[in-house]
């Protein structure tokens, strides 16, 4: 019996180990993993920390996580969030200790380097995962299962880092060919991180100080403030130490992006605004929010899943919407748990809270397992943002502007098209070109922009009135009636504009029935008798213009009224006076602007007015505003230098090789004592420099001959050649089109991450255990059989007796 017990125990032990061998890879990593994220001592990072920590636990991410907390000694005295995560304190680098430059993003490489030098945890780690605080983990991030190897980290794609392909990389790394446009998710071996970290920091400082190359056409930074220097510091540092990344564009996704079919992202990066129906979220709206420390306070409730089902029929588009609401729901779930753990009273019952605690929600947000499609690698691909992709939850956008067949509008077209390509504006653009038949026969600028041709209304066909401004509403109406338009929102610009960044309906909260525009405060007739004469609803007259963001359904109803009201106001010569219209020339020139406002009022189409979209060069900018559009409709000056578009009305700037506008002053020569005027002059200089750059690139594309008249541009042309022709490369670089993906999926070890020798012993023990189990069953069965035979024989003898 004792021998039987020993045999039985061995068999049970063997079978247990066999079962553990099957489960082990899903429970415990064979190598040690450390997850790091960098934050500062403020409320903005605290609620992000709560969300990331909750998702770390919810996803059952293996290994440990550490928050690298950058705080000054003064901040630590009042900081309330030390308990929010396992924390390693690092010195604050918000202000550079040597230069005094305020650049908080430097805390990330500085914090990682400090952790490597002084943390005991760093001595016992094999693999490191570096995340941003504004992320939600959906599934286990295991470096070797994602194909990471020593010397070959895995990272997500940051396709907009165009500096890897131009002069910036050539200036800041000896190996520009190794520069990878990556970021967001970084998974690498600890030895690689030790080699990289000091170079990451030094290259970040180097790029940050290179102010001469902060321009959007060099860096891809639409704000041209050097804010993404840390990202380039990473890419250039990795190239310098020979780290070439395996780029995966499927593991991480921005809420609001459309996932590829079959892909299950395991990381949400909510760094950009996103929208589901009429609901939207932007982390920037909560930069001062004390939501972590205010009991029962949550982020605005997103739509329920069943509502999302009704919003979208296409299953893949619907998945994109579900990712958006999942992100905020997990953040809110994290806040609920955090509040409860910190002694907050139980919140009052609500339908939404009940949903967050339901089994259905738990099932929807259970840890995700990467699919084969998710593991697909690529060498240089860019994730399609929903704005550029036909399969997207955000609406499509189409940008239009109106011009005529003249050299005056041609150079404006060249400038606007160049800036459009650099701005990151989603969707397509169309030039609405108003030409007479005679002008069209002689016109040479057909290739300057995607064009919709419109009959000229410069001279009214009925009244004979010469009023070219009427071409704008007439062209929009013609385009609506004759073009095949798939977009949901239309952005209307003037030709004399330079784009500095994207203008999207979801960011500026445009909606059906609620267009967005910029203020034209001088349209005083909205408040006087002119509005009462020309609209039934003068109270609905908005003093707006310049940039228009309008839903296509509203524009279709409105466009004809816009044209008719323009004709009506133009014909009302009795009210041209300045005290009625605000027109200083008293010539009825701004009749089209009133036609727009009166037409919209007739439909009670009220606008959201936003002063942060557009600025006139020469105006003093408001601090902190990132204007998206320059409107150079007025003369502006910088010192003794000035620019007035009217001076160039008859000049052929486009077909005359190397024509350019007079160069504005060098920014270094300006008076730096008056900050307001300095910022004003910076914007004025930027506007004309962008126009000149557009002309130069256009002339290069024309294959203009090199001669003495352009010798001063030799260096600029050399830079342009290194950057590449932006017009020709627009589809591949600026519009973020995806390329072919590599189908190679690199296996690590034998596919399980378990050393082969260990598996051999486990398999041997399993076989031994099974064999032993069969022997025991045989012996037990034989024993029972012999015992039964003896009892039967005894009964037979008694019966015979």
Distance of CA 145 to the CA centre of its chain: 27
What pLDDT, in 10s, does the model give residues 777-797? 666 556 554 544 444 444 444
Kindly tell me if the per-residue pLDDT of 78 is higher than 70. Answer: yes
Residues sharing a CB contact under 8 Å with residue 776, sequence separation 6 or more, in sequence order: 4, 7, 8, 11
> d(Cα 87, Cα 91) in Å, to the nearest integer?
13
Higher pLDDT pick, 235 / 10: 235
- Give the other-Cβ count within 10 Å of 123's Cβ: 8
Kindly tell me if the per-residue pLDDT of 490 is higher than 70. Answer: yes
Burial 772-781 (b: 16+ CB within 10 A, else e): bbeeeeeeee
pLDDT at 386: 33
What pLDDT, in 10s, does the model give residues 202-250? 999 999 999 999 988 899 887 788 999 999 999 999 999 999 999 998 9
* φ/ψ (deg, to 5) at 252: -115, 140
> How much is the average pLDDT of 20-28?
41
What pLDDT, in 10s, does the model give residues 509-544? 999 999 999 999 999 999 999 999 999 999 999 999
Kindly tell me if the per-residue pLDDT of 371 is higher than 60. Answer: yes
pLDDT at 438: 93
pLDDT at 322: 94
Q: Which residue has the tokens 């041609």?
A: 410
> How much is the average pLDDT of 331-335?
97
pLDDT category of residue 748 using cuts at 50, 70 and 90:
very low
Burial 607-621 (b: 16+ CB within 10 A, else e): beebeebbbbbbeeb
Instruction: Give the ranges where 64-156 is alpha helix by DSSP (H).
Output: 73-78, 107-118
> d(Cα 1, Cα 82) in Å, to the nearest integer?
60
pLDDT at 2: 53
Q: Which residue from 667, 720, 718, 665 is spatially nearest to 697, judged by alpha carbons?
A: 720
> d(Cα 609, Cα 420) in Å, to the nearest integer?
22
Kindly tell me if the per-residue pLDDT of 609 is higher than 80. Answer: yes
At how many degrees (to 10) do helices 471-482 and 591-602 cross? Answer: 50
Kindly tell me if the per-residue pLDDT of 117 is higher than 50. Answer: yes
Higher pLDDT pick, 531 / 318: 531
Q: Which residue from 453, 545, 463, 433 is spatially nearest to 497, judged by alpha carbons?
A: 545
List the beta strands (DSSP E) in 441-515: 451-455, 489-494, 497-499
Q: Which residue from 608, 408, 556, 427 is spatially nearest to 494, judged by alpha carbons?
A: 408
Kindly tell me if the per-residue pLDDT of 771 is higher than 90. Answer: no
- Give the other-Cβ count within 10 Å of 341's Cβ: 9
pLDDT category of residue 30 using cuts at 50, 70 and 90:
confident
Q: Distance from first CA to last CA of the chain, Å, rounded? A: 36
pLDDT category of residue 64 using cuts at 50, 70 and 90:
very high
What pLDDT, in 10s, does the model give residues 339-354? 999 999 999 999 999 9
Contact 305/324 with Cβ under 8 angstroms? no
Sign of CA dihedral 699, 701, 703, 706: positive
Contact 491/396 with Cβ under 8 angstroms? no
Kindly tell me if the per-residue pLDDT of 728 is higher than 50. Answer: no
Q: Which residue from 483, 503, 377 is spatially nearest to 430, judged by alpha carbons?
A: 483
> How much is the average pLDDT of 373-386?
54
> d(Cα 380, Cα 387) in Å, to the nearest integer?
20
Pairing status of strand 516-519 against strand 608-609? parallel
pLDDT at 173: 94
Token pair of 331 as six digits: 């953040």
pLDDT at 279: 92
> d(Cα 49, Cα 135) in Å, to the nearest integer?
9
Domain range summary for the chain, segments of one domain joined by +: 274-371, 644-702
Kindly tell me if the per-residue pLDDT of 6 is higher than 70. Answer: no
> d(Cα 355, Cα 359) in Å, to the nearest integer?
8
Higher pLDDT pick, 173 / 767: 173
Kindly tell me if the per-residue pLDDT of 676 is higher than 60. Answer: yes
In three-state secondary structure terms, 483 is coil
Q: How far is CA 560 from CA 402, 474, 490, 600, 604, in A?
A: 16, 8, 16, 11, 15
What pLDDT, in 10s, does the model give residues 406-459? 999 999 999 999 999 988 898 899 999 999 999 999 999 999 999 999 999 999
pLDDT at 764: 63
pLDDT category of residue 298 using cuts at 50, 70 and 90:
very high
pLDDT at 216: 81
Kindly tell me if the per-residue pLDDT of 758 is higher than 90. Answer: no
| CA count, 13 A, side-chain hemisphere, 507 | 17
Residues sharing a CB contact under 8 Å with residue 684, sequence separation 6 or more, in sequence order: 617, 618, 636, 637, 638, 643, 664
Q: How far is CA 752 from CA 97, 142, 148, 361, in A?
A: 47, 11, 14, 31
> d(Cα 179, Cα 521) in Å, to the nearest integer?
49
Based on its alpha-carbon atoms, the radius of gyration of the chain, rounded to whole angstroms, reads 33
Q: How far is CA 372 from CA 24, 205, 744, 746, 751, in A?
A: 21, 39, 11, 12, 13
The residues with which 430 forms a beta bridge, in sequence order, are 400
pLDDT at 770: 64
Token pair of 39 as six digits: 């934050």
In three-state secondary structure terms, 704 is coil
Q: What is the side-by-side order of every strand in the sheet holding 428-435?
A: 451-455, 428-435, 397-404, 489-494, 544-551, 516-519, 608-609
In three-state secondary structure terms, 742 is coil
What single DSSP character describes residue 396?
P
- Give the other-Cβ count within 10 Å of 752's Cβ: 17
User: What percent of the chain has pLDDT above 70?
Assistant: 83
| CA count, 13 A, side-chain hemisphere, 54 | 25
> d(Cα 404, Cα 433) in Å, to the nearest integer?
5
List the beta strands (DSSP E) in 456-612: 489-494, 497-499, 516-519, 544-551, 608-609
- Give the other-Cβ count within 10 Å of 515's Cβ: 26
The residues with which 432 forms a beta bridge, in sequence order, are 402, 452
> How much is the average pLDDT of 470-486?
94
Cα angle 318, 320, 322 (rounded to 5 degrees) comes to 70
Token pair of 373 as six digits: 């499609």
pLDDT at 4: 52
> How much is the average pLDDT of 90-98?
94
Burial 672-710 (b: 16+ CB within 10 A, else e): eeeeeeeebbebbbbbbbbbbbbbbbbbbeeebeeeeeb
Kindly tell me if the per-residue pLDDT of 751 is higher than 60. Answer: no
Q: Report the 3 state secondary structure along 632-662.
A: CCCCEEECCEEECHHHHCCCCCCCCCCCCCC
> How much is the average pLDDT of 53-72?
97
Instruction: Give the ranges where 383-470 is alpha helix by DSSP (H).
Output: 407-423, 437-442
Kindly tell me if the per-residue pLDDT of 271 is higher than 70. Answer: yes
Cα angle 424, 166, 153 (rounded to 5 degrees) comes to 85
Helix (H) or strand (E) holding 565: helix 552-571
Instruction: Give the ranges where 80-228 is alpha helix by DSSP (H).
Output: 107-118, 167-172, 190-209, 216-219
């Amino acid at each position: 019996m004792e021998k039987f017990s020993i045999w039985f125990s061995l068999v049970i032990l063997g079978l247990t180990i066999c079962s553990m061998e099957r489960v082990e890879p899903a429970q415990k990593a064979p190598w040690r993993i450390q997850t790091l994220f960098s934050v500062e001592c403020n409320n903005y990072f605290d609620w992000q920390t709560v969300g990331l920590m909750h998702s770390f636990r919810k996803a059952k991410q293996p290994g440990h996580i550490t928050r690298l907390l950058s705080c000054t000694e003064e901040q630590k005295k009042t900081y309330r969030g030390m308990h929010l995560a396992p924390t390693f304190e690092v010195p604050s680098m918000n202000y550079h200790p040597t230069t005094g430059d305020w650049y908080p993003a430097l805390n990330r490489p500085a914090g990682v380097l400090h952790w490597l030098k002084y943390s005991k945890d760093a001595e016992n780690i094999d693999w490191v995962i570096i995340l941003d605080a504004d992320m939600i983990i959906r599934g286990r991030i295991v470096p070797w299962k994602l194909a990471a190897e020593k010397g070959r980290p895995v990272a997500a794609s940051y396709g907009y880092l165009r500096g890897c392909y131009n002069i910036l990389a050539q200036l800041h790394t000896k190996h520009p060919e190794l520069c990878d446009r990556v970021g967001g998710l970084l998974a690498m071996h600890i030895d690689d991180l030790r080699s990289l970290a000091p170079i990451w920091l030094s290259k970040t400082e180097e790029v940050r100080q290179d102010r001469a190359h902060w321009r959007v056409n060099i860096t891809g930074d639409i704000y041209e403030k050097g804010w993404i220097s840390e990202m380039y510091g990473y890419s250039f540092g990795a190239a310098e130490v020979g780290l070439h990344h395996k780029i995966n564009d499927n593991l991480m996704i921005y809420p609001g992006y459309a996932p590829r079919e079959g892909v299950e992202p395991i990381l949400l990066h909510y760094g950009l605004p996103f929208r589901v129906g009429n609901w939207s979220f932007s982390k920037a709206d909560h930069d001062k929010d004390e939501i972590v420390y205010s009991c029962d306070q949550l982020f605005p409730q997103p739509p329920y899943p069943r509502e999302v089902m009704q919003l979208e029929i296409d299953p893949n588009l619907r998945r994109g919407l579900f990712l958006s609401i999942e992100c905020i729901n997990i953040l809110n779930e994290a806040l609920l748990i955090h509040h409860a753990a910190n002694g907050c009273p139980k919140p009052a019952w609500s339908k939404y809270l009940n949903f967050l605690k339901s089994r259905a929600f738990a099932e929807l947000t259970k840890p995700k397992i990467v699919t084969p499609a998710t593991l697909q690698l690529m060498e240089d691909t860019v994730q399609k943002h929903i704005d550029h992709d036909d399969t997207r939850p955000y609406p499509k956008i189409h940008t239009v502007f109106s011009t005529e067949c003249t050299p005056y509008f041609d150079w404006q077209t060249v400038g606007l098209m160049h800036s459009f390509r650099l701005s990151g504006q989603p969707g397509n653009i169309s030039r609405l070109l108003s030409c007479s038949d005679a002008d069209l026969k002689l016109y040479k600028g057909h290739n300057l922009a995607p064009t919709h041709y419109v009959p000229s209304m410069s001279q009214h066909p009925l009244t004979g009135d010469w009023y070219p401004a009427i071409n704008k509403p007439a062209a929009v109406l013609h385009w609506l009636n004759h073009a095949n338009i798939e977009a949901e929102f239309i952005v209307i610009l003037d030709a004399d504009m330079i784009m500095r960044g994207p203008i999207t309906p979801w960011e500026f909260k445009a909606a059906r029935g609620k267009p967005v525009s910029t203020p034209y405060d001088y349209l005083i007739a909205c408040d006087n008798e002119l509005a009462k004469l020309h609209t039934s609803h003068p109270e609905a007259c908005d003093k707006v213009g310049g940039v228009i963001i309008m839903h296509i359904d509203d524009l279709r109803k409105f466009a004809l009224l816009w044209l008719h009201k323009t004709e009506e106001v133009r014909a009302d010569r009795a009210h041209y006076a300045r005290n009625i219209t605000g027109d200083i020339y008293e010539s009825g020139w701004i009749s089209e602007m009133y036609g727009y406002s009166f037409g919209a009022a007739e439909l009670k189409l009220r606008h959201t007015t936003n002063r942060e979209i557009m600025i006139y060069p020469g105006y003093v900018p408001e601090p902190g505003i990132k204007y998206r559009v320059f409107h150079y409709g007025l003369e502006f000056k910088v010192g003794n230098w000035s620019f007035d578009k009217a001076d160039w009305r008859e000049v052929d700037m486009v077909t005359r090789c190397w024509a350019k506008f007079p160069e504005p002053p060098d920014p270094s020569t300006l008076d730096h004592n008056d900050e307001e005027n300095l910022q004003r002059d910076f914007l004025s200089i930027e506007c004309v420099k962008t126009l000149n750059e557009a002309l130069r690139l256009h002339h290069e594309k024309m294959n203009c001959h090199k001669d003495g008249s352009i010798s001063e541009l030799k260096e600029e042309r050399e830079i342009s050649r290194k950057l590449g022709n932006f017009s020709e490369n627009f589809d591949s670089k600026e519009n973020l089109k995806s390329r072919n993906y590599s189908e190679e999926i690199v296996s690590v070890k034998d596919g399980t991450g378990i050393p082969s020798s260990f598996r051999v012993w486990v398999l041997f023990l399993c076989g031994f255990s099974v064999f032993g189990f069969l022997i025991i069953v045989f012996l037990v069965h034989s024993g029972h059989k012999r015992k039964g035979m003896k009892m039967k024989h005894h009964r037979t003898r008694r019966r015979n007796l």
